[in-house]
Chains A and B, each alone.
Chain A
């Protein structure tokens, strides 16, 4: 039976960040990797400050500061680009939303600037004319999350040992793999997204399907990550199907086009009508996209919690089990922050930001009160 100071289940961006952070604090970690692609492999890899509620803003801005401390050390294949985000106001009334966003972010030290219609057109000539303006957040960026996760694991050195296999059961301070192998540690962190529901007595997560498309290479057509200001409302809707305009220029010159949201399906097939709606929305903002070739489309599943915030903290019934779940579409952005909170909790240290809004216990308290 292999032993360590901690076991982390899941080698996506959250699991890799947790293992890396625990290793920074001197712990020996076993990282269990089932080698199945999850949300990290399917997503856009944005490092974007989101402010739909104070807890989301606190975690994303804290985490982005931590990312800025390591991006310069990441190898080229992590594709870090400090491209910044342009939040686009389609209609004049959306400029008020941009202003609120700017003020909220400024309160946490996140710099941004309002842009006029002309400034938006100047910064991104491919955008259609007649947009109302926007908000530029220069500190945002993009990475290629699968390689960033691999790099975090490598950067931790020998302190993190990867174990390949699927966890089939959790036991008291131990995990059982499909092979029959048993690993034990005083502390176990569950960071395997939707897969966690198979291991927990009560399911905690809901799959939120997303579809993306990527074009052939068209270098120098778009410089910033482009997002419509209505994105937040769509991204955090708790039901229904929606699309929102979100385009990134990858370092290859390819344009990654998002995004869509759908509940209650685990079918990885592309939903063509929804893809068409998503692409239509994208061409509303970038008419030139219509002449470009799309070379791949794919779908993935965000792991959504009931209230849209991640679950970060001990499981109330199992004090040795930590949950790092439910990051939805913000897992890459909030990975280092989430990991830092988890590691501080495990080490019984003070967390750098108030961790109360994310504590996993909130999900269980609700259930108990219903009994």
Chain B
């Protein structure tokens, strides 16, 4: 099992190669991806790129956590806190 290093909300962590960003968020102990307009925490729901609930900012670009595989050095930020 190969581990890769990345950061989630600025915190360094190691995850298994091949997992999605949604899985990495879940494994980090706090699976929410973003804060909604009505200030509710949201997390991956459909897991297949349809519901758009798991939008996060990866290396500065908004993407779907469930449709993005973790890569070494990724910077993952939870979105919607602007």
Choice from A253, A291, A296 contacting B61 with Cβ under 8 Å: A291
Is A25 an interface residue, CB under 8 A from the partner?
Answer: no
Asked whether B16 is an interface residue with its Cβ less than 8 Å from the other chain, the reply is: no
A219 proximity list for chain B (CB < 8 A) = 82
Q: What CA separation (Å) do A219 and B79 show in the bound complex?
A: 12
- Given A216-B62, A252-B37, A295-B82 contact (CB < 8 Å): no
Residues from 47 to 82 in B contacting A, C-beta threshold 8 Å: 52, 55, 61-63, 79-80, 82
Residues of A within 8 A of B37 (CB): 217, 252
Judge whether A293 is part of the interface by a CB distance below 8 angstroms. yes
Which residues of A, 202-236, contact B by the 8 Å Cβ criterion?
A: 216-217, 219
Per-position 1/0 for A290-334, Cβ under 8 A of B? 011101100000000000000000000000000000000000000
Contacts of A217 in B (CB 8 A): 37, 79-80, 82
Contact in complex: B63, A293 (CB < 8 Å): yes
Contact A293 B82 (CB under 8 A): no
Residues of chain A within 8 A (CB-CB) of B82 are: 217, 219, 253
**Chain B proximity of A76: nearest CB distance (Å):** 11
Restricting to B1-51, which residues have a CB under 8 Å from any CB of A?
Answer: 37
Q: Tell me whether A296 and B52 are in contact (CB under 8 A).
A: yes
The smallest C-beta distance from B42 to any residue of chain A, in angstroms, reads 12
Are A216's CB and B55's CB within 8 A? Answer: yes
In the complex, residue of chain B having the shortest beta-carbon distance to the beta carbon of A219: B82
B13 to chain A, nearest CB (A): 25
Given the complex of chains A and B, what is the CA–CA distance between A252 and B38 in angstroms?
10
A289 to chain B, nearest CB (A): 13
Q: What residues of chain A lie closer than 8 Å to B63, measured between beta carbons? A: 293
B6 to chain A, nearest CB (A): 21
Query: A295 to B61, alpha carbons, bound, how many Å?
Result: 14
Find the B residue at minimum CB distance from A217. B80
A56-72 near B? 1/0 per residue, CB < 8 Å: 00000000000000000
Taking the closest CB of chain B, its distance from the CB of A320, in whole angstroms, is 45
CA distance A292 to B63 in the complex (A): 10
B75 to chain A, nearest CB (A): 17
Residues of B within 8 A of A295 (CB): 52, 55
Kindly provide the distance from the CB of A119 to the nearest chain B CB, expressed in whole angstroms. Answer: 28
Tell me the complex Cα distance, A293–B62, Å: 7
- Cβ of A253: which chain B residues have Cβ within 8 Å of it? 82
Q: How far is the CA of A217 from the CA of B61 in the complex (A)?
A: 12
CA distance A216 to B58 in the complex (A): 14
Which residue, A253, A291, A295, has most C-beta atoms of chain B within 10 A?
A295
Inter-chain contacts of B52 with A (CB < 8 A): 216, 295-296
> Residue of A at shortest CB range from B82?
A219
The distance in angstroms between the C-alpha atoms of A293 and B56, with both chains bound, is 11
Q: How far is the CA of A292 from the CA of B57 in the complex (A)?
A: 11
**Complex CA–CA separation, A296 to B62 (angstroms):** 14
Q: Which residues of B contact A292 (CB under 8 A)?
A: 62
CB nearest to A251 among chain B residues: B37
Find the A residue at minimum CB distance from B61: A291
Known: A216-B52, A219-B82. 7 other contacts (CB 8 A): A216-B79, A217-B37, A217-B80, A217-B82, A292-B62, A293-B63, A295-B55
A-B residue pairs in contact (CB < 8 Å), sample of 19: A216-B52, A216-B55, A216-B62, A216-B79, A217-B37, A217-B79, A217-B80, A217-B82, A219-B82, A252-B37, A253-B82, A291-B61, A292-B62, A293-B55, A293-B62, A293-B63, A295-B52, A295-B55, A296-B52
> When A and B form their complex, which 7 residue pairs have the shortest distance between CB atoms, in order from nearest?
A295-B52, A293-B62, A252-B37, A216-B62, A219-B82, A216-B55, A217-B80
